[in-house]
A and B are shown apart, each in its own frame.
Chain A
Amino acid sequence: MSSLVVETPGLLTTVQDLGRVGYGAIGVSPSGAADPVALQIGNRLVGNAPGAAALEMTLAGGTFAFPEGGVISLAGANFGGQLDGRELAPWRAHAVMPGKRLTLGATRDFARCYLCVAGGIQVEAFLGSASTHLLSGLGGWQGRALRKGDVLPVGEVKERIRQKKMAAGVLDALRPRKTLRVTRGPQSGWFGEEIRKRLLEEEFRVSEEANRMGLRLEGPLLAAREKKEMISEGAPLGAIQVTPSGQTILLFVEQQTTGGYPKIANVISADLHSVGQLRPRDTVRFEEVSFEQARALWIEQQRLLESEERLFA
């Protein structure tokens, strides 16, 4: 088995796959890649199954060595990856000779960059997934963010890897959006027309408190008109919760599974990967769509991600 050596980890680098879904009854949220679209494409580029485990880097990447060599791809945000000083194009596979070193810097555009390695990062699965759950220290590589000196096992590659080129228009179609589409939340009726309009017409700014659990947004206050006590209930991924003081919190992949704040709206599934690419101080807007539209957009996105013919030229 070959390996990947962490020489410097970057700001926050974790092992992620598509997450563990279905353990809500024991309080476990799915976790998984913040940008599952980039993860899946990055994996396909190196011949992996789309949901193979890879490294998710946040805002700034690290330095990684490959003692036995390998084939890698960088997908998602552009962290200016270089292989022994030579700039690496993102969204394509690169052969790495034994002993070479991959260096990444600060982001040039979005929040998260995925380093996919042919054969996948091999870690012990927890509840069927390799994803790191930082809050509880479970899953991934020892349940934590990577540190200097970690040596991660990489799976064997059996078949020759065919070089693939992204098809024209695909990356534009999947490009992270700054206007997130939402459907009405289960308590949207608590807010009244005026407040709902404010959500859809004004601009919000991602605060410094933005991580895999959730993103606190700065912007107009959206306090609910109805001041009744809410009974805690399950909260979906992408829910936009409003605190009693009117502040807005977007629940994300490592979210708490239940919540007691009213939910005014919910980011649609097809735009969740865009949430994963939001940086602190980025501005976002919201646009309402119907449940039917949201479903159609999701199905279309899934079809595209499942089709090698459409993804690659």
Chain B
Amino acid sequence: MKFQAASDQSLLVYVGEEIGAAAHERVLRLLLALQREPAAWIRNVQPAYCSLLVSFDAAVVDHAEVQARITEYEKRAEKLPAVKARLVEIPVCYGGEFGPDVEALAAKSGLSPAKVIALHCTRTYHAYFLGFAPGFAYLGDVAQEIAMPRLETPRTEVPAGSVGIAGRQTAVYPFATPGGWRLIGRTPLEIFKKDREPMGWIAIGDQVRFRPISHEEFAWRSRG
């Protein structure tokens, strides 16, 4: 474990140095340990690929003290049983007006649009963390053939439910927001809903699959 002060009230805790299952397992365990025994001096924990940003109340503790206490949490985290992943399915209507970037992905990879979609929906993805907007889960890893960087100029509005690719990540936009990911389809699911428990459809650590659906199924699910 490595520590790095990030601001006067936060400390970055690195539990690994590369994106992958091993580092993320440690992130999840430490997050779980912190959530099991919440401390009043912890204001927020932001997990990511191989780090956690721990924000604290500087009126109560300082960086050195937080570091010592996180080290204690880490010892308890190691003893926790293996984290059991939940399997989540997301129906997606691919291509057409919902997936304006499928053609570009096909052109870049030399594959047919159908093959691009097949590569996306035959994998099971790991939910590394949530960021950008409430309920926005960073899912990986996308097949190398269809990995593509973000758009140079982000769209000013991406419709809610849009499924996109950025590098080897894929994600579903929970809200209509600006966004630069390459759009390949749309889900009729409400990915984040405030009057639901849990609010987010995808949680950190979930295993996520995409299931292709027709326009008809999209239409009736959207009504439902």
- Decide whether A and B assemble into one complex: yes
B153 in the interface (beta carbon within 8 A)? no
Q: Are A269 and B58 in contact (CB under 8 A)?
A: yes
The closest CB in chain B to the CB of A232 belongs to: B48
The closest CB in chain A to the CB of B38 belongs to: A22
A133 in the interface (beta carbon within 8 A)? yes
A128 in the interface (beta carbon within 8 A)? no
**Chain A contacts with B in 238-269, Cβ cutoff 8 A:** 238-239, 256-259, 263, 266-269
B133 in the interface (beta carbon within 8 A)? yes
The closest CB in chain B to the CB of A27 belongs to: B130
Residues of the A chain whose Cβ atoms lie less than 8 Å from the Cβ of B198: 26
Q: Are B135 and A295 in contact (CB under 8 A)?
A: no
Q: What's the Cα separation between A232 and B55 when bound, in Å?
A: 17
Q: What's the Cα separation between A258 and B53 when bound, in Å?
A: 9
Q: Are A25 and B31 in contact (CB under 8 A)?
A: yes
Q: Are B7 and A25 in contact (CB under 8 A)?
A: no
Interface string of A53-69 (1 = CB under 8 A from B): 00000000000000000
Interface string of B185-214 (1 = CB under 8 A from A): 000000010100011100110000000000
Residues of the B chain whose Cβ atoms lie less than 8 Å from the Cβ of A263: 6
Q: What's the Cα separation between A233 and B55 when bound, in Å?
A: 13
Q: Are B48 and A266 in contact (CB under 8 A)?
A: no
Task: Output the least CB separation between A244 and chain B (Å).
Answer: 12
Task: Output the least CB separation between B21 and chain A (Å).
Answer: 15
The closest CB in chain A to the CB of B42 belongs to: A22
Q: What's the Cα separation between A259 and B53 when bound, in Å?
A: 11
Q: Are B9 and A236 in contact (CB under 8 A)?
A: yes
- B: contact size bracket: 35 or more
Q: What's the Cα separation between A130 and B31 when bound, in Å?
A: 27
Residues of the B chain whose Cβ atoms lie less than 8 Å from the Cβ of A267: 7
Q: Are A266 and B6 in contact (CB under 8 A)?
A: yes
Q: Are A256 and B47 in contact (CB under 8 A)?
A: no
The closest CB in chain A to the CB of B53 belongs to: A234
Give the secondary structure class of A's interface: mixed
Q: Are A231 and B53 in contact (CB under 8 A)?
A: no
Residues of the B chain whose Cβ atoms lie less than 8 Å from the Cβ of A295: 8, 58, 62
**Chain B contacts with A in 91-137, Cβ cutoff 8 A:** 129-137
Residues of the B chain whose Cβ atoms lie less than 8 Å from the Cβ of A192: none
Q: Are A126 and B194 in contact (CB under 8 A)?
A: yes
**Chain B contacts with A in 49-70, Cβ cutoff 8 A:** 49-53, 55, 58-59, 62-63
Q: Are B174 and A291 in contact (CB under 8 A)?
A: no
A-B CB proximity, top 6 nearest? A234-B53, A234-B46, A27-B130, A258-B131, A294-B8, A24-B46
* A interface residues with partner B (beta carbon < 8 Å): 21-28, 30, 126, 133, 135-138, 183-186, 231-239, 256-259, 263, 266-269, 291-292, 294-295, 298-299, 302
Extra contacts, 18 of them, besides A22-B44, A25-B35 (Cβ < 8 A), are A23-B44, A24-B44, A25-B47, A26-B134, A26-B200, A186-B12, A231-B19, A231-B50, A234-B47, A234-B48, A234-B51, A239-B7, A258-B129, A258-B132, A258-B138, A259-B131, A269-B7, A269-B58
18 contacts between A and B (CB under 8 A): A21-B44, A26-B134, A26-B135, A26-B199, A135-B133, A135-B175, A136-B134, A183-B8, A231-B51, A232-B49, A233-B48, A233-B53, A257-B130, A258-B48, A258-B132, A269-B8, A298-B8, A298-B58
